[in-house]
Structure 1
């Protein structure tokens, strides 16, 4: 039987999906039947992809007057213990029960036979995500400062959830969290590296030798940044939902603050591929130091060791991105024509930025492994 080419994103039927040499991301009749089985709307569906989806993939699904959001992992093969849609959905249900702003989880599908991977459907929340343009209602200098403040205050709200009196406690092991992060991501580099980047080992060794003592345990998002927050469309700035929970766990809250501030754009900072909301370079937004001060005053945590967490954030990001780069080189991301190619130079530069937080000198240039 002649097979269709790789990289087809959406097909109408299971039969059409079976004719592809790599699976599609969305099968219309399968999704329609799943929605029917959970009483979610009626009639034919239409769809559009939301965001760049460098890891998991998100679609807005229209069905009559109803709008839903479907979130699934990327095409198989998937790295072991990643892209756990059932876990991601459950964490959001639990933080929602604590009054934290997330979309409502409407249905969860652990059955891989429907789309080839587990997925879930959640409510669609209208609003705006701030990336490379400022929403008109939030453009005044005072609104810009309030936007930055809302980002920090939402992170504080998350970290103040009492994990000890909630089922959330089962979603992580806070003791030794940062130690395990260094060990786990160091091992991931050995599995996924396509080249020799000496800074990975140098930074990893420094992190291992300087592990700070965690001061508390909290629900941590793992990818907490302005671009993962949905804001109301009008002023004043209000966060209506926090999105993309695939890396959430229970651990050291300063890991979230380190990630937020290491990837935060401010005047004079070096832009990296992790800088996804460049508008905060403009006048009126809080600086990194102001973000840190506002967080510290509300959480009563010592932030002296924050450069360690900032370095960890960019070091982890470089390793995670190298795994994406390896998949792109193997042809496993056929619809990726921009992000994958950018990683050849983008990852070494990300490591340069990680070194800046701890003052390590540059090392040798990268060499190709395979």
Structure 2
């Protein structure tokens, strides 16, 4: 069986050698992601997840499978839940691109508002607070203690993020959008000193976690580490809070759990994160506008990249035709966030 982006006959010999004892593989595309492609592999006894970059031309520094695999392997044994690292392949002769394999984690992935609506109000709150507690645990990990001291340059992270996403926009934009230029200029002008240095996930939201089926307040695995690095932990929090905006729905594939009004508000989540990490809640809330605005900027550029791949016919999966319509509202919401009205 051959799926778009996954030549199973070509994969099988490599997999047999890399995962001793494994049998003949079957595969299916796992929908939900909008960037790296994710497949479920099984030999009828065990199950794994294979991740590879998207089809088509890739942006520089994006979709680094080796970095993604390295952070997942390093976090094993910490109190940050991750899937077990199994193997990685950098040989283009196998699938044409680097890819990684991790163990399958059983649990519940809550992507849509309908799926969130199966939870009670108390369960939704427990889930939302559990997510920011896991984020806080990630930010408390000492990178040097797990071999990640050289995983990135925390100093100057915010300035590099502003420049990086502006450069990305220049490479992938399919139209002019003045609000992107305005948002970039304002972020560059108001960039604060870093509020700390930690491992940052880079794309933290509810559907990038696997929850315990019996208790949605327990995260069994944090997934999709393709944008992880070292940097300011509040950038993770700001993006997570920005994801509550319904403008993200087209990017996330429809009415999303992350944007549901049943989730606690931004201030409640920020205060819970502050309490979990020992920060001053009032000071944290007061200083979040820049980080939320940066989250919108990053997400708008990522959405434009997804839209550009769709226009080129390089998307695999459903819903990509709607993503381009989210870019302008996201940029406008980023400006509103900086104004304190978003």
TM-score, normalised by the number of residues in structure 1: 0.84
Aligned to 2:2: 11
Separation in 2, partners of 1:282, 1:182: 29
Q: 1:312 aligns with which of 282, 294, 299?
A: 294
Structure 2 residue matching 1:175: 3-state secondary structure: coil
Alpha-carbon spacing, 1:50–1:139, altered in 2? closer, same or farther (3 Å) = same
Q: How does 1:132-211 map to 2 (within 5 A)?
A: 132=112, 133-134=114-115, 139-211=119-191
Q: 2:312 aligns with which of 311, 317, 330?
A: 330
Separation in 2, partners of 1:299, 1:360: 24
Q: 2:250 aligns with which of 273, 278, 293?
A: 273
Separation in 2, partners of 1:29, 1:289: 50
After superposition, give the CA deviation of every residue in 1:140-185 in whole Å (9 maximum; x if it has no partner). Answer: 3222211111111100110110124332121110110000111111
TM-score, normalised by the number of residues in structure 2: 0.91
Alpha-carbon spacing, 1:280–1:324, altered in 2? closer, same or farther (3 Å) = closer
Alpha-carbon spacing, 1:309–1:135, altered in 2? closer, same or farther (3 Å) = closer
Aligned to 1:291: 269
The alignment status of 1:52 with 2:29, answered yes or no, reads: no
Q: Is the 8 A contact 1:225 1:264 kept in 2?
A: no
Which of structures 1 and 2 has the bigger CA Rg? 1
C-alpha displacement of 1:112: 1.2
Q: Is the 8 A contact 2:92 2:98 kept in 1?
A: yes
Separation in 2, partners of 1:224, 1:58: 17
Structure 2 residue matching 1:171: 3-state secondary structure: coil
Separation in 1, partners of 2:222, 2:101: 16
The alignment status of 1:109 with 2:89, answered yes or no, reads: yes
Alpha-carbon spacing, 1:139–1:326, altered in 2? closer, same or farther (3 Å) = closer
Alpha-carbon spacing, 1:280–1:346, altered in 2? closer, same or farther (3 Å) = closer
Q: Is the 8 A contact 2:84 2:102 kept in 1?
A: yes
C-alpha displacement of 1:39: 3.1
Structure 2 residue matching 1:318: 3-state secondary structure: helix
C-alpha displacement of 1:328: 2.2
After superposition, give the CA deviation of every residue in 1:265-298 in whole Å (9 maximum; x if it has no partner). Answer: 5xxx656435673376354x42221100011122
C-alpha displacement of 1:350: 1.3
After superposition, give the CA deviation of every residue in 1:36-61 in whole Å (9 maximum; x if it has no partner). Answer: 10234443221111123311011111
Runs of 4 or more above 6 Å deviation: none
C-alpha displacement of 1:310: 0.7
Q: Is the 8 A contact 2:59 2:168 kept in 1?
A: no
Can you give the 5+ residue segments of structure 1 that lack an aligned partner in the other structure?
A: 1-9, 13-23, 362-370
Separation in 1, partners of 2:159, 2:242: 19
Residue range with higher mean Cα deviation, 38-47 or 78-87: 38-47
Higher relative contact order (CA 8 A, sep 6+): 2
Separation in 1, partners of 2:101, 2:237: 29
